[in-house]
Structure 1
Amino acid sequence: MIEPIEPSPRVKAIQRGALTMLLISGAISTIDRAALALANPLIRHDLGLSISEMGFLLSAFLWAYALSQLPVGVLIDRFGPRWLLTCGLVIWSSAQGMCGFVNGTLQFAIARVILGVGEAPQFPTAARVVRDWFAARHRGGATGVFMCASYLGTGLAAPLLTALMLNFGWRDMFIIMGVLGLLVALLWGVFYKDPAQVPLSDREHAYRQSGEVTTRSQRAVAPISGKQWRGLFKSPTTVGLIVGFFGMTYVNWLFNSWLPGYLQMERHMSIARVGWAAAIPYTFAVAGALSAGYLVDLLAKRGMSLTNSRKVPACAFLLLETALVVVAALVPSNTVAIAAVSGAMFCGTAASTIAWSAISVLSPAICTGSLGALQNFGGYVGGALAPIVTGLIVQQTGSFVPALFVGAGLCLLAACSYLFLVRGPITVVEKDAIATLQTT
C-alpha cells in the first residue's frame, strides 16, 4: 500500500496562514452585512426611514451578492484568489465605511449594493484556496474551518457592533468596521500567495494533486474559457449543486432573519429570554460546520469515494433537518422547539459545509471558483427570498407554521437534488469542452 504524501512544513504554514486569514475575513464579512440590521432602530430614527424602506435596504445586499456570483467565479479562475479577495475586501470595506456618511435611502442602497458586490468573492475564493493548497483527503476539514466563519461572525456581531454603537454612534461603527476590513485586505494581499507564485517542489505539487483523477487539460494553467464555463451548465452535477444549495440557504436564512421573531411571536417568549435562547442554535451551527468538514475527510479516509463522502452525509443531514424543522413547527414545548431549531441549524450548516467541500473535489481545477460561485448564486437567491416569503406567509396567516413547512419542503428538495443529480466529478477534456460526468 502506497503511503499518502503529507504536506511539507512550508505547505502546512501556507495552509494555516490562509485559513486564519479566511476565517478572519469571513467573520468580518458576516459582521459587516449584519451591521444594518443591528443598527436598524437608530438609523430609521435618524434618517426618518419607514419600515418598508428599511426592508428594501436589508434586501439590497442579498440581491447584489447573489447576482455578483455569476461573473466573480470566472474572475477568480482567471486571476486567482490573491487579487480577487484583496479587491473584494477593499470594495466591501470601502462600502461599509461609506454607510457612515449617507444621508438618505438611495445613498444607503447604493452602499449596500456595493457591499454585496464586494463580498461576493469571499466564499468562492475560499473554495479555490482549499482546492489549490490541500490534498483531496484534507479538504473537508479545511472547508469546515472557513465555513464556520459566518456563524462566528454572527455570534460576534451583536456584542461588537452594539459596543461600537454605544461608544461611538452608528455612523462611526460603520467607519471603524470599514477600516478594519481594509487592514485585512492589506494582510491578504501581502501574505497570501497563489501556487504559481511559490517555487514548489515536485513532492509539494504531488501532495496538492493527490487523490484526484485529472486529465492533461485540467493540469494546464490556462484560464477557464467561456465555452468551458457554459459547459458547466450541461452537467447534472452543476444543477444538483445549485438547486441543493438553494434549499439549504433558504432555510439557513429563514432562521438567520426570523429566529428572534419566531421565538417572540410564535412561542410568546419575552425579549430577555429570546436573547439567550436565540444564541443556542448559533452555537450548534458552528459545531455543525466544524464537525461536517472532518466527517467527510474521515469517510474518504475509510475508503468511500470523494463523491459519496460528500453526497451521502449531505443527504442524511438534509433529511434530518427536514424532520427537525417540522418538529419545531408542531411541538407545543418551547424547550423542544429550541432544541429542534438547534439541531436543524447544526444539520443545515453541516450540509452547507459539505456542499462547499464538494466544490473542491467535483469541479475541474480551472473551474473551481466558477462552480463555487454558481452554487453560491443559487444559494443566495434562496437566501434573498427567505425573509420576504416568510414575512408574507406570517403576515397572511398569523403563524410561522406554514413558513416552516415551506422550509422543510425545500430541505427535502435539496436532499433529492443531491441524491438524484449529483453523480460525480465534472472533468475537462481536450479541445476546450466539458466531458461526460465520471461517477466515482
Structure 2
Amino acid sequence: MPETNKTHVRYLILLMLLLVTTISFADRAAISIAGASLQNDLGIDAVTLGYIFSAFGWSYVLAQIPSGWLLDRFGSKHIYAAGIFIWSVFTLLQSFVGLMPVAWAVTSLFLLRFMSGLAGAPAFPGNACIVAEWFPTSERGTASAIFSSGQYFATALFAPLMGWMVYSLGWEYVFVSIGLLGMVLSGIWMKTIYSPKEHPRISAAELRYIEQNGGLVNRKPSRKGDGPKWHHIKQLLTNRMLLGVYLGQYCTNTITYFFLTWFPVYLVQERGMTILKAGLIASLPAICGLVGGVLGGVTSDHLLRKGYSLTLARKLPIVCGLLLSSTMVLCNYVSAEWLVVGIMTLAFFGKGLCSLGWAVVSDTSPRQIAGLSGGLFNTFANLASITTPIVIGYIIHATGSFQWALVYVSANALIAILSYLLIVGPIKRVELRACDDRVGTPVLPQT
C-alpha cells in the first residue's frame, strides 16, 4: 500500500451502505405503495392491512439479537450479503400471491413479508459495525446520517416509480422489480465490501487516519467460544443511557413506520388522491427527509470538530428534528392539499434531522460486541414496525379517519424528546465488565 497518497476508500464503502439501505427501505415501502390496490383486490379491511404491514416487523425484531451475534461471530460481509439475497427472493415471491384464493393470498403475503424481515435483520446492525470500523469518531455522524438517509432516498426515488407501476401495470410489478434489483446488489456487495485492513485499494495513510481517530480497524470476527455472552445483554439492558436511547429510537421509528406504511394510504383515502398522485406526493417529503438527514449528520460532526461535547453534538439535532416531526398533527386542522403536503414535508425534514440513532450506537457500543449492541438497539427500535401499523389500523377502524393516528405519531415524537433529555444523560462508550461465565456475575478486580 502506498505510504504517502491518502485514499478515500471509506466513501466507496459508505456509498454501498447507502445503496443497500435504499433498496432495503424500497422493499419495506413497496407494500405501502401497493397497499390501497391490495386492499381493493383482496377485499380486506384496515385492521387486516395493518397486520400485513406489520409482518416484516415481527421477524425483523425477533432476529435482531441473533443477527447481531452472527455479525460479531462471522463478520459483516458474508452475513449481510446472504441477507440481501434472501430478502430479495422473498420480495420477488410476493408478486405471485394474487394468483391464490383470497384467504391463502392474505396468509401467504403475511408469511412472505415475515420471511423478508427475518432475512433483512442484519442490515442496520451491519451498517453500524461497518461505520464503526471504517470511520473516525468525528465523521460517524455524517456517515450514519448518510446511510440512514437511504430510507428517504428510497421513497423519493421509488415512490413515484412504484406508484406508476401500480397505476399502469399492477401492484405485482413493484415486488418483481425490487426483488430482482436486490439480488443483483448482493453480488456487487461481495465484490466491494472488506474490512479496512483487508481492502485491496486502501492506502496506509487512510488506514492510519481511521485508526488514530477512533475507527475500530482492529475489530475482527470473534472466535468460537469468544463471542457475545448472555451477561453482555444483561449489561446493556441495565445501562440507563442505553435504555434511554432505545426508548427514544422506538418512538422515532414510530414516525418512520407511519411514513413507510400508512402515509400513501392516508393520501389516497383521507385526502382523495389517486395512487399515481400519492406516489408523486410521497416523494416530496422524502426528498426533504433526505436533506434533513444529511444536514443532521453534518451539523453533529461540525459541532464535534468545534470542540463541543459528544452529548451536545448528537442530542441537539435529534431534539430539534423531533420537535419538527411533531408538527404533523397540524394536518388535522387544515384542508388545503398544499398545506397538508407542506406540513408533512416539514415533519419528514425533522425526521431526517433526528436520524442520528445509529451514530449514537457507533459511539456507545462496547468494542467487543458492536454487532450485538446494534442488534439490541434495533430490536427496541423496530418494535415500532409492529406496533405502528397495527395501532394505526385499529385507530382508523374505530374512528373512520386518520386524525387520532396523527396525534399518536406526534405524541411519540414528544416522548422521544423527553427520553433524550431526561433519561439518556451523557453519551459515551460503554465498557464491558469482566464476568464469570459459569455464574453470570461480575468478576471484581483483585487488590
TM-score by length of 2: 0.83
Match of 1:142 in 2: 143
CA distance in 1, matches of 2:335, 2:318: 29
The letter of the residue matching 1:149 is G
Q: Does 1:418 align with 2:420?
A: yes
Larger deviation, residues 295-304 vs 267-276: 267-276
Q: Does 1:112 align with 2:113?
A: yes
Match of 1:376 in 2: 378
Match of 1:329 in 2: 332
CA distance in 2, matches of 1:44, 1:121: 30
The letter of the residue matching 2:59 is A
Contact 1:143/1:357 (<8 A) preserved: yes
Contact 1:136/1:210 (<8 A) preserved: no
Distance 1:374 1:91, change over 3 A: same
CA distance in 2, matches of 1:213, 1:196: 12
Distance 1:373 1:7, change over 3 A: farther
CA distance in 2, matches of 1:148, 1:142: 10
How far has the Cα of 1:219 moved from its partner? Answer: 9.9
Distance 1:187 1:294, change over 3 A: same
How far has the Cα of 1:202 moved from its partner? Answer: 7.3
The letter of the residue matching 2:6 is P
Percent of aligned positions that are identical: 29
From 35, 44, 49, give the equivalent of 1:50.
44
Match of 1:299 in 2: 303
How far has the Cα of 1:265 moved from its partner? Answer: 5.3
Deviations 1:281-311 (A, max 9, x none): 1221111111111111101011112232112
The letter of the residue matching 2:399 is T
Q: SS at 1:278's partner residue?
A: helix
CA distance in 2, matches of 1:407, 1:45: 26
Q: SS at 2:310's partner residue?
A: coil
From 351, 365, 368, give the equivalent of 1:366.
368
Q: SS at 2:356's partner residue?
A: helix
Contact 1:60/1:112 (<8 A) preserved: yes
CA distance in 1, matches of 2:275, 2:229: 53
Deviations 1:147-166 (A, max 9, x none): 11122112232343456668
Deviations 1:15-56 (A, max 9, x none): 12212222221121122223334344665677x563465543
CA distance in 2, matches of 1:392, 1:44: 15
Match of 2:6 in 1: 9
Distance 1:336 1:263, change over 3 A: same
Contact 1:219/1:365 (<8 A) preserved: no
CA distance in 2, matches of 1:92, 1:35: 13
CA distance in 1, matches of 2:169, 2:344: 35
Q: SS at 1:307's partner residue?
A: helix
Match of 1:409 in 2: 411
Q: SS at 1:224's partner residue?
A: coil
Q: How does 1:16-415 map to 2 (within 5 A)?
A: 16-40=11-35, 48=42, 50-51=44-45, 54-102=49-97, 103=100, 104-105=104-105, 106-161=107-162, 171=172, 174-195=175-196, 197-198=198-199, 204-212=206-214, 223-263=227-267, 266=270, 274=278, 276-322=280-326, 324-331=327-334, 333-351=336-354, 353-415=355-417
CA distance in 1, matches of 2:328, 2:160: 28
CA distance in 2, matches of 1:166, 1:396: 29
Distance 1:95 1:219, change over 3 A: closer
Distance 1:425 1:53, change over 3 A: same
Contact 1:26/1:122 (<8 A) preserved: yes
Match of 1:3 in 2: none
The letter of the residue matching 1:292 is G
How far has the Cα of 1:7 moved from its partner? Answer: 11
Larger deviation, residues 174-183 vs 416-425: 174-183
CA distance in 1, matches of 2:147, 2:285: 19
CA distance in 1, matches of 2:374, 2:423: 17
Contact 1:296/1:310 (<8 A) preserved: yes
CA distance in 2, matches of 1:312, 1:78: 35
Distance 1:264 1:163, change over 3 A: closer
How far has the Cα of 1:205 moved from its partner? Answer: 5.0
CA distance in 2, matches of 1:54, 1:35: 13
Contact 1:264/1:271 (<8 A) preserved: yes
Distance 1:329 1:43, change over 3 A: closer
The letter of the residue matching 1:340 is I
Deviations 1:346-399 (A, max 9, x none): 111221x21111111122223322222222222221232222222322333344
Deviations 1:222-250 (A, max 9, x none): 64333223311111121111100111111
Larger deviation, residues 424-433 vs 412-421: 424-433
TM-score by length of 1: 0.84
The letter of the residue matching 2:414 is L
Where does the alignment leave 5 or more consecutive residues of structure 1 unmatched?
Answer: 1-5, 436-440
Contact 2:23/2:154 (<8 A) preserved: yes
CA distance in 2, matches of 1:45, 1:392: 18
Q: SS at 1:428's partner residue?
A: coil
Larger deviation, residues 301-310 vs 331-340: 331-340
The letter of the residue matching 1:99 is Q
Larger deviation, residues 359-368 vs 274-283: 274-283
**Alignment length, in residue pairs?**
423
